[in-house]
Amino acid sequence: MKILVVDDEKDVQVLFEQRFRKEIKSAEMQFVFAFSGEEALAYLNSHEHEAVLILSDINMPGMSGLELLGHIKQKYLKPPPVVMMITAYGDAENYNTAKRLGADDFLTKPVDFTLLKEKLKTIH
Amino acid sequence: MQFEFVVLIILFAYLRNNLQTKTRYPQWDKLLLGGLMLSVAFLIIDTTIKSSGVITPWIAHALFFSIIYLAITRKEFKPVLSIVYAIIPLVAINFIEDVVMLINVSFYDEWSSYFKTAGIFASIWLVAMLIINRRQRKALEKEQLKTAEKDKEVRITESLKAELEVQVAERTHALTIQKEELQHALNELNATQSQLIQSEKMASLGELTAGIAHEIQNPLNFVNNFSEVNAELIDELTQELEKGKIEEAMAIAKDIKDNEQKINHHGKRADAIVKGMLQHSRSSTGVKEPTNINQLADEYLRLAYHGLRAKDKTFNASMKTDFDASIGEIDIIPQDIGRVILNLITNAFYAVTDKKKKIPEGTSYDPIVTVITKKEKGKIKIKVHDNGDGIPSKVLDKIFQPFFTTKPTGQGTGLGLSMSYDIVSKGHGGELKVDTKEGVYTEFVIILPLST
């Protein structure tokens, strides 16, 4: 399973690689990282149908996670991949917008990796 | 002899009147009045009794001499001295005439024409003296009148002076009160100004709060996550060691060390943000210290961005930086310059957000705020560029004025740019310039001299 993680914080890559090192080792999961919404879209364009799950931060400079979500769910890929939004602000407005735009799930920072792993496994 | 008594009567009356003896010298007045009465009496006697001609002239002479004597010896009679001098020749000639007539009548008869001539001359003398006296008196009176007028003028001047002094005192008092009132008002203004500066600082801190929360939350998440990962890794490390797999163990140990570095890095990041926040809320130390401008600008750019982002969910803009790494550290008051940078960045974000809201649906607009630092010719330039709507030329010369704001009421204090201007120019001997094109961009440039 290929997962695209979108976050403007570069250390997120190291963190995910450490957190999921067993899954990566066993090739159960494969991670790709993008550090902005634009980068994520570019990746999705060039690697169509590769990523089945997208984990995206909302609060990013430039294209926000919500805009990215809109692009993916409305204009891109059919069938659209599963998109989970992760945000530092777990407020109702963000949550509602994300849901309206078709987010499959909504997580707040700090991410509970145990919970995330379980969720990923159910999708799998 | 009647003539002499008439003269005497006139003389006495004149003396009394001229010297005003009635009020000024009552004792002389009695005497003069007595002389007057006597003269009147003898005039009557002289005209009625023919034979009295033997004695009356001598009485007249005596009266004349008394007057002459008094006039010469008494200083009270000084004003009438000239009149008395005028009559002396006449009196003297009459007296000599009478004496001669008494001693030698024939001699008198022989020389009578001479006596007559002398009498005429004495009379002329008298008249001339009277005229001169009259003139002198008139001149004197004129002089006196002048003096009196002068006195009057002096008195008027003095009273005016006194009046003026009173007025001056009143005005001085009023001015003193006014000065005190103004001083009071000034004090109040100063107090209000420092309150405003404080509230402006607090307002910008408020804008920062959400950004700060976000900026601290992120590194803290990393700290927590990496330390959790490390705990797991240490368990694995132990397991590998138990299995005797040294190489595996070494690899895990390296990961743990890397993670430690991450924890440390993010811990310091949070620390720097808290310190920056404290520095921002603290009143300026006013002390210049070596500061990394690039780091300061980057910190405030992130804080401003996340602050606005937290306040307005629809807010979005790209942040770009172009830092000149050769700048190194320069001597500035970090709190103050930080405030200026924050203010300019917040304005820039405000401008691009405003433009994005106004832009018609379907038009593509990519809001970008760029912070550029550059070292050139002994100066440091910090540019804050936005591709917002620019500043209309009609308000361009007002933007640095205190309380000028284009934001809706209650949203801006109008102090941001004016305070920024003061900080850069007065506080650091630098310049704050603006370059803008309506509808296209705005660029504020902080120019700081390298050596101050």
Record: contact B316-A62, CB cut-off 8 A: yes
For the ranges B223-227, B287-291, B336-340, the maximum mean pLDDT occurs at B223-227
Is residue B106 over pLDDT 60?
A: yes
* Bridge pairing between strands A30-34 and A2-6: parallel
Give residue B206's pLDDT band: very low, low, confident or very high (50, 70, 90).
Answer: low
Specify the long-range contacts of residues B175-184, CB closer than 8 Å, at least 24 apart: none
Q: Which residues in A have their CB inside 8 Å of a CB on B?
A: 9, 11, 14-15, 18-19, 59, 61-64, 67, 88-89, 91, 93-94, 97, 109-111, 113
Q: Is B280:B343 a contact under the CB 8 Å cutoff?
A: no
Q: How many CB atoms lie within 10 A of CB B254?
A: 10
Given strand B441-449, what is the order of strands in its sheet? B318-322, B368-376, B379-386, B441-449, B431-437
Under an 8 A CB cutoff, do B318 and A97 touch?
A: no
- Measured CA to CA, the distance from residue A42 to residue A36 in angstroms comes to 10
* B101 vs B437, residue with greater confidence: B437
Average pLDDT over chain B reads 85
Whole-angstrom Cα distance, residue B130 to residue B84? Answer: 10
Mean pLDDT value of segment B180-191? 91
Subunit contact A110:B225, Cβ cutoff 8 A: yes
Sign (positive or negative) of CA dihedral A95, A96, A97, A103: positive
Res. A118: pLDDT tops 80:
yes
pLDDT at B142: 92
Supply B181's token pair.
């009132």
Residue-wise pLDDT for B258-281, tens only, equals 999 999 999 988 887 777 666 666
**Listed residues B121, B156, B191: the one ending a domain:** B156
Using pLDDT thresholds of 50, 70 and 90, give the confidence band for residue B87.
Answer: confident
Q: Residue B388: give its domain's CATH number.
A: 3.30.565.10
In chain B, the number of structural domains is 2
- pLDDT tens, residue by residue, B378-434: 899 999 999 999 998 888 888 887 777 777 666 666 778 888 888 898 889 999 999
Q: At what angle do helices A11-19 and B105-243 cross, to 10 degrees?
A: 30
HSE of B205 in the Cβ direction (CA atoms, 13 Å)?
16
Question: Domain end: B128, B156, B184, which one?
Answer: B156
Asked whether the predicted pLDDT for residue B205 surpasses 80, the reply is no
What residues make up the domain containing B52? 2-156
Question: What pLDDT, in 10s, does the model give residues B8-64?
Answer: 888 888 888 888 888 888 888 888 888 888 888 888 888 888 776 778 888 888 888
**pLDDT higher than 70, residue A119:** yes
Residue B90 identity (one-letter amino acid):
L
Band of pLDDT at residue B444, cut at 50, 70 and 90: very high
CB contact under 8 A, A18 and B233: yes
Q: Is residue B164 part of a domain?
A: no
Asked if residue B52 belongs to a domain, the reply is yes
Side chain identity, residue B367? P
Residue B265 with chain A: CB contacts under 8 Å: 11
The reply to whether B298 falls in a domain is yes
Q: Is residue B238 part of a domain?
A: no
Closest CA to A83 of A75, A93, A72: A72
Q: Which domain holds residue A44?
A: 2-123
pLDDT band at B137 (very low <50, low <70, confident <90, very high): confident
**Residues of B with CB below 8 A from A64's CB?**
316
Amino acid at B208: L
Q: Partners of B380 in the beta sheet? A: B375, B448
A44-53, B172-181, B226-235, B341-350: least confident range = A44-53
Interface predicted TM-score of the whole assembly (ipTM), two decimals: 0.85
- pLDDT(B151) > 80: yes
Q: What CATH number is given to the structural domain containing A80? A: 3.40.50.2300
Q: How far is CA B442 from CA B344, B370, B384, in A?
A: 10, 11, 8
Report the residue of chain B nearest A111, measured CA to CA: B221
Closest approach of B327 to chain A, Cα-based (Å): 26
Give the pLDDT mean for B246-261: 92
**Residue B63 covered by a domain:** yes
Q: For residues B142 and B374, what is the distance between their CA atoms, to the nearest angstrom?
A: 94
- The per-residue pLDDT for B412 is 67
Taking residues B66-71, what's their average pLDDT? 86
Name beta bridge partners: B385.
Answer: B370, B443
The domain tally of chain A equals: 1
Q: Is the dihedral of CA B399, B404, B408, B410 positive or negative?
A: positive
Question: Which pLDDT score is estimated for A123?
Answer: 75
Number of residues in chain B: 452
